Amino acid sequence: MDNILTQQEAMLRSGQISEVDYTLKIKLEKGSQEYEGETTVRFVYSGGKKGKLKVDFVSKKIEILWLNGKEETNYEKKESAFFLPGELLAEGKNELKVKYKNVFDHSGSGFHKFTDPSDKAEYMHTDFEPFEAHRLFPSFDQPDLKATYELEITGPSEWTYIHNTVPKSEETQGNYKNIKFNKTKKFSTYLFSLIVGPYAVWEDKAGEIPLRIFCRKSLSKYMDAENLFAITKEAFGFLQEYFAVSYPYGKYDQIFVPEFNMGAMENVGAVTFSESYIFRGPRIYSEYLNRANTVYHEMVHMWFGNLVTMKWWNDLWLNESFADYLSYYSMSKGKIFPDALEHFYVREEWAYREDQLSTTHPIAGKAENTLEAISNFDGISYSKGASVLRQLMYYVGEEKFRDAMRLYFKRHAEKNTVLNDFLSCMSETSGIDIRGWSKEWLETTGVNTLSPVRQNGRLFLYQGPSATNGLLRTHALQASLFREKNGNLEEVWKKRVLVKGKETLLEENYSGEADLLLLNTEDFAYAKTYLSKESLPILKRSLHTLKDRFSRRVVWGSLWQMVRDAELSPKEFLELALDQGLKEPDLSVRNSHILTKALTVIDNYIPEAEKRNWSDKLNSIAKEKSLLAQNPEQEQILWFRILENTSKSIEQLSYLKELLDQKKSIPGIAMDQERRWVILSRLSAYGDPESSKRIEEEVAKDNTDLGAKKAFLAKVSFPDPETKRESWERFLKPKEGDSTDFLRYGMRGFQWNHQKQLLVSYTDSYFNLVISVYETRDPHFASAFGHMMFPSFEPDPSLLKRTQEFLDQNKKLPELLKKDLQQQRDDMQRTLKVLEKYKD
């Protein structure tokens, strides 16, 4: 696989090339797997006519190439680029024109094509981050060679064509339409977009900014355009004023595209979203909030990432950390989701997990090439970076933080930046030299642990070093003390604390006993926090009486960190969850911090012999609670999910089957298509003899692409050697038309913990084949295979040993595979440590 650009190549090229602009002509035909293109690249060259100039391009066939008006054949073509000899180039202005044919991609990236089985409509979309624009057109595909783009497209007249700008002319002749789009502003190649197909459209305005929402016709009945427009307008209202820079790109389109690999992508003026955000049935509050957050996140990128772009992918955090934090912060200032920062606290668990893995990296990381860049789209660049920015805002003050953003955009609009550019702006506006703070936070790895300590009449806070490097850091945070009074927990004090070194004094003359000291209330700091062992009896009695919801979240978040660090017995957590947790009045707290975590504990952190007992307890609670007719709809959704997730015995599965056949019902729960597939997959996984017939009947009723994918998942789930063998072979040698997304659904159904005996033989196959998968398949498929097909049926010391030996024996593994396997190993080590400590 040579489809990689190194940082060294990019630096060399940006030293030779400047003032780039592209003119593109694309021709599309109905029913074809190919398209025609003609691209003209104008640029200024100053490379001294030495060596070769690399032009990134993946193509089926270059038909003709002209350089400065003359046909040229003296170039070297590789899989993902062609090289022009330096002596052919003119010092100064050059014009390169390439006429070519190309094939559509089916990996979700590049120029992806999808046919909707329900109405045979064809849809295409681009997805180019970090290094895929050259799949559509020859380009200098790196973020610091910003360019303008002028697109002309010809294709079937019934299709809609969406680009970064609006059309300046449109002509229809017979069955074809020709559209010329306005020239774009300057931006990086990965932000170019072209979306095509017979889309349904909704229109509105945010002030003077035209807004449009698109989705494919077969899903239009589910589109909640009114809600999405309301969120979009609220976001524009806040961000333009906050950044003191008007939205730079004219119009704002949001397009929900099929088989998208990520949640969304911030293409200039034409944001693409995963169709998973089109809700086909009622959802719980946190899912609506998460969707809104994605809308906000992509809009923040119009400034952070699009207007001002990192120079190279090692500074990915200059895009993602800011979008991650400012999206939640902005939402918290609005009226639709004012509690957004509580949900930001939930998201930070991603950062804490990844920062404790051996694969962690500094927020201001490194990316020697574009493949390594892909691996940096992780919990560090997003969630840890965001959390550290929240800490910085608390440290310097909200207004100074905002003013630094304003200075940053004023100084660097339409340019590329590095870490020091941001630090300079923050230092200037805050009056504090932020470089020292950066060295402590942005340029190191690891997370500190803060614990309350009572000793000799003193109450203080102890800071534990980050595990691998022993670092202690400066933390600005809030601490709150609660005391039991008449069976209720009431706040005694709340104070801002600056933590430095190992110990920080909170109270000199401390006499409390039945107290709960809660560290990092309102979540200003990036640190794991523990609760004192003395406060556990208080929590078992009175946790539900704590009035402040955010504080209850922090309690449960601290308990969860203690379980993962083997500082709290998993059984003790489950007992608390199934008592105090059921008294938690807020459904999103109950879902994210209590019931979801209880399921994780049962699956991972208690001995095999006890799993069924705890699962049965939770199943019984869910069944009982779901039958209460007075429950609100969101609570019913929650209980149904727990019920389905814990159904394992013949009796429990029979109950699901009766729900499926509507012989029994749960108040407020309609047996819609999504729930039917969920139940069918579980029945199939547990070997229900009717499942194969039922899947065929269901897929006949659900003729959508999602129906086909969920049917594939359900079929693959069946515990039969032949079924597993056939699906394994299909993952490795897909049938014609199998997209990466389709195969991902199948992989989700392959491994079930209770099928260990059936699956154990695939351990050898996995380790024998996984290197070739990462070397020959697209990164999205390879990563899905690496994660989902890893033989993690249950924690097992022999699998841990096998994984470590594989890493030791293969020193030159593909970087993505190496990272994926190291993370699997680290997770196993953590799980086995918890199991070993609490095995009795």
Any idea which residues carry the catalytic annotation?
A: 298
CA distance 547 to 490: 8
CA distance 641 to 560: 21
List Cβ neighbours of 547 (8 Å cut-off, separation of 6 or more): 489
Number of other residues whose CB lies within 10 A of the CB of residue 386: 30
Q: How many residues does the chain have?
A: 840
DSSP 8-state class, residue 567: S
Check if the beta carbon of residue 528 is closer than 8 Å to that of residue 450: yes
Is the C-alpha dihedral spanning 462, 468, 470, 473 positive or negative? negative
Sheet holding 122-127, edge to edge: 110-115, 122-127, 194-197, 160-163
Tokens 């729900």 correspond to 659
What stretch of H or E contains 56?
strand 52-56
Prior bond of 138 cis (ω within 30°) = no
User: Quick one: tokens of 758?
Assistant: 């059936």
DSSP 8-state class, residue 190: G
Check if the beta carbon of residue 89 is closer than 8 Å to that of residue 53: yes
CA distance 481 to 489: 10
Q: Give backbone dihedrals phi and psi of 309, rounded to 5 degrees, phi first.
A: -120, 145
Check if the beta carbon of residue 181 is closer than 8 Å to that of residue 349: no
Check if the beta carbon of residue 192 is closer than 8 Å to that of residue 165: no
**How many CA atoms lie less than 13 Å away from 343 in the CB half-sphere?**
25
Strand runs (DSSP E) across 344-434, as ranges?
416-417
Closest to 279 measured CA to CA, from 202, 365, 215: 215
CA distance 31 to 140: 31
CA distance 62 to 100: 4
